[in-house]
Amino acid sequence: MSAYRCALLMTAAACSLLAQPNSSYRYSVKDGEKTVEITNVTYEVTNYDVVLRTTTRSKHVVGDIGMEASTTVEAWKLGTDLKQKPLYAVTAEGTESRTVEGEVFVISRGLEEVEWWSVYKLSSGAHLFDTYVPLVRFSFGRESVTNRYVGLEVPPDDTKDARLKEPHVVAVVSYASEAKVIREALITCDDPKQAALLRSYADTTRTLTESGQRSHSLRVSFSQNYPSPPAAVAVVIPLAGDDLDIAHAQLPPKMHLAAWKR
């Protein structure tokens, strides 16, 4: 371990001794209902010379599906007294937060049967995008490694964006750097019944992968769940330069891809 890295860890440890609150566990029984409440606090030093404090609070009734949980991520410049106001604080319903490549952090938002994640800029705490498949990261460049982050948002019925309630909408692909969303693209289907099936959390499984080849491309796959036949379909989006090449995307019949802006 380098002397610099060791110094960072020692500083973070010293900061953590001053920090409040502490991790805790509580088990209770009321009217025959068993409840577990847990608070976990973790610390991390990032590439930005920033100390992150992540506090996760959860409450789970034993035997019930889902739980109540919230995650708060707070950031201070390295060496700052953690009793001072943080550079930023992000709180969201979710069970955990993790940093990726020291550039973004991802909060796991799925508290019931549907898994999804929110992605934030580590430098400022600003929200980048949501994804209903695990975040995809890939890199390119020879002299210096450049990371890119990709997600797939499948809008729920109660989405706040009225445009995403349109019956032909399937999903939104988000392509981002650590600093900003570079491009988003909207997947639609001419058949509203098929669009609803492809959006369904219960009936369809979605995957997002990157080609891993010199000529980068993204593949969004949709497959129906058992007992239905898989009937898999895929959307393949090549990258041109540092952008989604929407014009040359490969799509199944009756499906379309178009540029999208929030």
Query: Strands 169-176, 233-238: parallel, antiparallel or unpaired by DSSP?
Result: unpaired
Per-residue pLDDT tens digits for 5-19: 443 444 444 444 344
Q: How many angstroms separate the CA atoms of 57 and 40, rounded?
A: 7
More confident residue, 62 or 65: 62
Phi and psi torsions of 15, nearest 5°: -65, -40
Please give the structure tokens belonging to residue 239: 């990258």
Q: Is 182 exposed, middle or buried (0-12, 13-18, 19+ CB in 10 A)?
A: middle
Q: Are 155 and 170 in contact (CB under 8 A)?
A: no
The residues facing 32 across adjacent strands are: none
DSSP secondary structure letters along 187-249: EEESSHHHHHHHH-TTTEEEEEEE--SSS-EEEEEEEEPTTS----EEEEEEB-SSSB-GGG-
Q: What is the pTM of this model?
A: 0.87
Contacts of 204 (CB under 8 A, 6+ apart): 197, 198, 222, 223, 224, 225
The residues facing 59 across adjacent strands are: 37, 68
Q: How many angstroms separate the CA atoms of 39 and 226, rounded?
A: 37
Cis, peptide link before residue 227, omega less than 30° from 0: yes
Phi and psi torsions of 247, nearest 5°: -65, -25
DSSP secondary structure letters along 32-79: TEEEEEEEEEEEEE-TTSEEEEEEEEEEEETTSSS-EEEEEEEEEETT
Which of 26-30, 179-183, 217-221, 247-251 has the weakest average pLDDT? Answer: 26-30
pLDDT at 4 over 50: no
Q: How many angstroms separate the CA atoms of 64 and 78, rounded?
A: 41
Tell me what pLDDT residue 7 has: 39
As a whole-number percent, the residues of the chain with pLDDT over 90 amount to 70
The mean pLDDT value for 15-38 works out to: 74
Tell me what pLDDT residue 213 has: 76
- Residue 96 parent element (H or E): strand 96-100
Per-residue pLDDT tens digits for 212-243: 777 899 999 999 999 899 999 999 999 998 99
